[in-house]
Amino acid sequence: MLRIVAFVCALQLGAFAAESGAQTPAGGRAAHATLAAGIRIASGAAGAANPAFEASLDAAMRSSTRPRDWALAATASPQPSRTIGATAHVDGDLFRAAQAAPGDALVQWLVANHADPATPEGRAHRAAAIDAMTRIEPDNGAAWMQALAAAASDDDEPLVEDALTRMAQARRFDDHFVDVLHAWIDVYDRHPAPASLSTDAYDAGFMAAMAKAAATALPAYQHVVLACKPPATAGTAFARGTRCVAIGRTMLDSGTTLVARSIGFAILRNLDAATDADRAAKRDLDWYAANVLHGTGEDGNVRDALAHESDWRRMDDEIEVMKSALGRAGLPTQAPDGWMPRSKPGAVAAG
């Protein structure tokens, strides 16, 4: 019997972040929730249905000459204490990848998200990765959000203010989720999964790549939500207001994932700064969530399934993937006039 892998919808996470600060563990080690596309798979999940294959893949990645393979293997390890430990002697994978690929933004992103902040060594590795990221991608607000998270965790107010300023100046917001997916697709293309793991029209390796990417840690979004939420008792203008409006709008307008865009709107809503255009953009996000399975092959349409896989392989933006699926299904790629979600804002509406 086929079943749907239920990925938590990014819009629900955005609403939760707005209301509670989304207290994820230090470093953002919560399951990545932006993969808002249900995938039909057999009762044995593609990413874990063949332990022997996964064990051989893990060994191949660790012995690879590619630093990205080392970093991905470390973040996907069922024994993170062995691969994401405090010292290079313990982990041998994640931090050697950072040292071998100082100019690879994805490797540094993975280190920043997965380095253990509970130890001095882990904090040092994380700080070095964040420093590298902000040099490689100074125009990416997500890189500076990592700096903000580190500063907030250290209660370093001057560095918090500097990171907010840098985020406000950023021209884009890319949390590298799609890059992680593409990297895993590349791994499974080079190391094909057994054909027996294929289900419906989806390639087994693609299925496994999606599962691995969806399980990758979220960045620590709660820090920017909290930093940009005015105190309830504020009697004067919120000093961070202008910068936070800029941050929220960049995330809403250019975030490459649903979670980034929906949290951008949450920031604007908390500041009472959402415009009609912002609310229309949020309504589009609700529309995508309400119709998340259409055009993806979830109904058994093999052609749609192949096209959906192709979209994920070639596109760099989750929103564009969802728009493509809607178009395939003959649905509007923006919320129709007068349409509203059936449930409260921020929650998934029944399609």
Q: Flag whether 232 is in a domain.
A: no
Please state, as a whole number, how many other Cβ atoms lie within 10 Å of the Cβ of residue 313: 16
Closest Cα partner for 255 from 130, 148, 171? Answer: 171
Is-contact 288 322, C-beta < 8 A? Answer: yes
Alpha carbons 137 and 145: distance in angstroms, whole number = 12
Q: How far is CA 328 from CA 21, 291, 295, 300, 321, in A?
A: 36, 12, 5, 14, 11
pLDDT value, residue 23: 41
Alpha carbons 172 and 260: distance in angstroms, whole number = 11
CA dihedral 127, 133, 136, 141 (to 10 degrees): -130
Q: Minimum mean pLDDT among 121-135, 168-182, 245-259: which range?
A: 121-135
CA dihedral 281, 284, 285, 291 (to 10 degrees): 180
Q: What is the pLDDT of residues 11-35, one digit of tens each?
A: 444 444 445 444 444 444 444 433 4
Domains of the chain: total: 1
Q: Where are the alpha helices (DSSP H) in the chain?
A: 10-20, 51-62, 67-76, 80-83, 88-91, 94-100, 105-114, 120-136, 141-153, 157-169, 177-190, 204-214, 222-227, 241-254, 258-270, 276-290, 302-314, 318-328
Residue 46: give the domain boundaries: 1-10+35-218+284-351
Q: Which amino acid is it at 218?
A: L
Q: What is the pLDDT of residues 105-122, one digit of tens each?
A: 999 999 999 887 877 878
CA dihedral 294, 307, 177, 140 (to 10 degrees): -100
Q: Flag whether 269 is in a domain.
A: no
User: Per-residue pLDDT for 4 more than 90?
Assistant: no
pLDDT value, residue 78: 52
Q: What is the pLDDT of residues 266-324, one digit of tens each?
A: 999 999 999 999 999 999 999 999 999 999 988 888 899 999 999 999 999 999 999 99
Alpha carbons 216 and 110: distance in angstroms, whole number = 9
Q: Which residues contact 228 (CB under 8 A, 6 or more apart)?
A: 164, 240, 244, 247, 248, 267, 270, 271
Alpha carbons 211 and 7: distance in angstroms, whole number = 10
349: DSSP letter:
P
Q: Flag whether 21 is in a domain.
A: no
Q: Flag whether 246 is in a domain.
A: no
Alpha carbons 276 and 188: distance in angstroms, whole number = 44
Q: Minimum mean pLDDT among 5-9, 137-141, 278-282: which range?
A: 5-9
Q: Minimum mean pLDDT among 2-6, 27-31, 68-72, 209-213: which range?
A: 2-6
Q: Which amino acid is it at 277?
A: A
Q: How far is CA 339 from CA 268, 286, 332, in A?
A: 22, 10, 11
Q: Minimum mean pLDDT among 93-107, 122-136, 145-159, 192-206: which range?
A: 192-206
Closest Cα partner for 100 from 91, 90, 108? Answer: 108
Alpha carbons 253 and 37: distance in angstroms, whole number = 21
Q: Flag whether 190 is in a domain.
A: yes
Q: Flag whether 226 is in a domain.
A: no
Q: Which amino acid is it at 202?
A: Y
Alpha carbons 267 and 274: distance in angstroms, whole number = 9
Is-contact 22 16, C-beta < 8 A? Answer: yes
pTM of the full predicted structure? 0.85
Alpha carbons 33 and 108: distance in angstroms, whole number = 21
Q: Flag whether 130 is in a domain.
A: yes
Q: Flag whether 291 is in a domain.
A: yes
